[in-house]
């Protein structure tokens, strides 16, 4: 290796050593962990109440693995919205200082923008934001200490209650046993088979499964309050009715507790809405989603299957015709419906 090569190697070693020093920062102590704002375990919180001056209060309750909004209306809450508010219970105090009562207005804490109660364990008054790093001022249980915390929750505290509602069309923990939309009724029969009304008795198992799964899995674009124009449209809006049972309770029987939901279907130029009159809320869905929720749609066969069908002689009596074309309307459909029961059960 020549002199230039040795020089380049030495320079590379020096740069690597300098980078290691900057990365490891020898002699620098690890900062202690930041103290928690509240001395509670947020995983154990079951109830959250949010009071907002001049606005309606919000109340959320944990039911099993899900959060429900119970005030101002009772409906499943959007999980990420509820978890965002719950995050305040686990927030770290980034910094803190003592403030006299007369100084609280300077920090947006007199009056506070919101007061959040976690069970009966802690109350947090939420104020304004620091203009430099946008951390939010909060005060715990009326103490003189003012804390600064990362602001990851105020959007939900300031939101309209409708924005906290889950976009799911069927509440968590429930499954359909009957779905009635304009011109079509599908119900769960014996052995878990989905059975359409007489007008659609030739529907395939795949079409029935897709229809039911759409109701199980589809979500609205958003949820909003029913406005004046929407109420006027209800006079001519058809009804959608869902009968539900608790998930995992087995077959429907006379003693089983059922829940019935009723939506009214309203149409705008750009979308459609499923209205819960009892709540005054609208779940907005796209026209494409509405098609899946309101119609039985037979799936198109794969391209190679269509080619095979075109090449086969009409009225053929081959094995493929017996098993795949539902020529007798019995065996193929029956097997398909059994498969549907297994598939939809897994989807729950």
Pairing mode, strands 75-76 and 66-71? antiparallel
218-241 residues labelled b (16+ CB within 10 A) or e (exposed): bebeebbebeeebeebeeebeebe
Q: Are 137 and 129 in contact (CB under 8 A)?
A: yes
Terminal Cα distance for the chain, rounded: 69
Q: Are 219 and 289 in contact (CB under 8 A)?
A: no
Query: In the predicted model, is pLDDT for residue 329 greater than 80?
Result: no
> 273 vs 332, which has greater pLDDT?
273
Please report which confidence band the pLDDT of residue 26 belongs to, taking 50, 70 and 90 as the band edges: low
Q: Where are the domains of the chain?
A: 42-164, 174-305+325-347
CA distances for 336 relative to 29, 181, 191, 213, 283, angstroms: 67, 23, 13, 15, 32
Mean per-residue pLDDT over the chain, rounded = 84
Closest CA relative to residue 167, chosen from 340, 339, 321, 289: 289
The predicted pLDDT at position 12 comes to: 77
For 252-311, write each residue's pLDDT tens digit.
444 456 899 999 999 988 899 999 999 999 999 999 999 999 999 988 776 665 555 554
Q: What is the pTM of this model?
A: 0.76
Query: In the predicted model, is pLDDT for residue 204 greater than 70?
Result: yes
Most confident of 231-240, 301-310, 313-322: 231-240
């Amino acid at each position: 290796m020549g002199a230039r090569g040795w020089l380049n190697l030495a320079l590379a070693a020096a740069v690597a050593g300098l980078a290691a020093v900057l990365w490891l920062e020898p002699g620098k102590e690890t900062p202690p962990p930041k103290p928690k704002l509240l001395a509670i375990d947020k995983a154990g919180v079951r109830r959250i109440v949010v009071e907002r001056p001049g606005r309606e209060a919000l109340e959320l309750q944990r039911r099993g693995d899900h959060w429900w909004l119970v005030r101002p209306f009772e409906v499943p809450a959007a999980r990420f919205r509820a978890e965002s508010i719950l995050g305040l219970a686990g927030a770290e105090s980034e910094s803190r200082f003592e403030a006299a009562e007369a100084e609280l207005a300077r920090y947006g804490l007199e009056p506070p923008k919101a007061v959040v109660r976690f069970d009966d364990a802690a109350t947090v008054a939420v104020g304004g934001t620091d203009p430099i790093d946008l951390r939010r001022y909060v005060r715990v249980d009326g103490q003189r200490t003012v804390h600064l915390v990362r602001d990851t929750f105020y959007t939900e505290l300031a939101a309209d209650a409708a924005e906290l509602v889950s976009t799911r069309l069927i509440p968590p923990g429930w499954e359909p046993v009957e779905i009635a939309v304009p011109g079509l009724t599908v119900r769960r029969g014996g052995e878990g088979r989905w059975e359409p009304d007489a007008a659609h008795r030739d529907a395939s198992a795949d079409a029935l499964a897709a229809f039911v799964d759409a109701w199980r899995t589809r979500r609205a674009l958003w949820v909003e309050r029913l406005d004046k124009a929407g109420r006027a449209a209800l006079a001519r809006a058809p009804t959608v009715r869902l009968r539900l049972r608790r998930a995992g309770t087995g077959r429907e029987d006379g003693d089983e507790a059922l829940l019935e939901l009723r939506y009214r279907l309203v149409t705008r130029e750009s979308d459609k809405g499923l209205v819960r009159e009892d709540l005054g809320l609208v779940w907005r869905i796209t026209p494409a989603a509405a098609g899946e929720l309101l119609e039985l749609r037979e799936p198109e066969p794969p391209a190679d299957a269509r080619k095979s069908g075109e090449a086969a002689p009409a009225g053929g009596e081959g094995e493929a015709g017996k098993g795949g074309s539902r020529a007798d309307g019995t065996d193929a459909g029956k097997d398909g419906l059994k498969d549907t029961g297994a598939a939809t059960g897994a989807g729950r």
